[in-house]
Amino acid sequence: MSIQLATGHEVVPMSEEWIAEKPETRQLFNKGLVRIMPEGWLYPSTAPFFLDKMQHFKFRPDDVVVVTHPKTGTTWTQEILWTMLHNPNLDNPDANEMLTLRSPEISQDMMHDGKAIPDMKQDMYGDRLDKLCPGRNHEDGVVMQILEVMQGPRIIKSHWPITLFPPNLLETTKVVYVARNPKDTVVSFYHFCRAIKVFNYQGGFENFVEEFMNDGLIYGPYWPHLADAWRRRHHPNLFIVFYEDLQADIMAELHKINKFMGTNLTQKQLDNVLENSGGFIRKGVSGDWKNHLSPELNQKMDQWIQKHTADLGLTFKWGN
CA distance 136 to 142: 9
Provide the CA 194 distance to its chain's centre, in angstroms.
18
Query: Which residues lie closer than 8 Å to 56 by C-beta, 6 or more apart?
Result: none
CA distance 178 to 280: 15
Q: What is the pLDDT of residues 167-190, one digit of tens each?
A: 999 999 999 999 999 999 999 999
Q: What is the pLDDT of residue 279?
A: 67
Q: What is the pLDDT of residues 53-77, one digit of tens each?
A: 999 999 999 999 999 999 999 999 9
Q: What is the pLDDT of residues 111-156, one digit of tens each?
A: 988 877 765 455 788 888 888 888 888 888 899 999 999 998 999 9
Concatenating the DSSP letter of every residue in 58-115 gives ---TT-EEEEE-TTSSHHHHHHHHHHHHH-TTS--GGGGS-HHHHS-BTT-GGGGGBT
Does the bond joining 221 to the residue before it have cis omega, within 30 degrees of 0? yes
- The answer as to CATH 3.40.50.300 being correct for domain 60-309 is yes
**Residue 288, helix vs strand vs coil:** helix
Contact 136, 189 (CB under 8 A): no
CA distance 31 to 180: 31
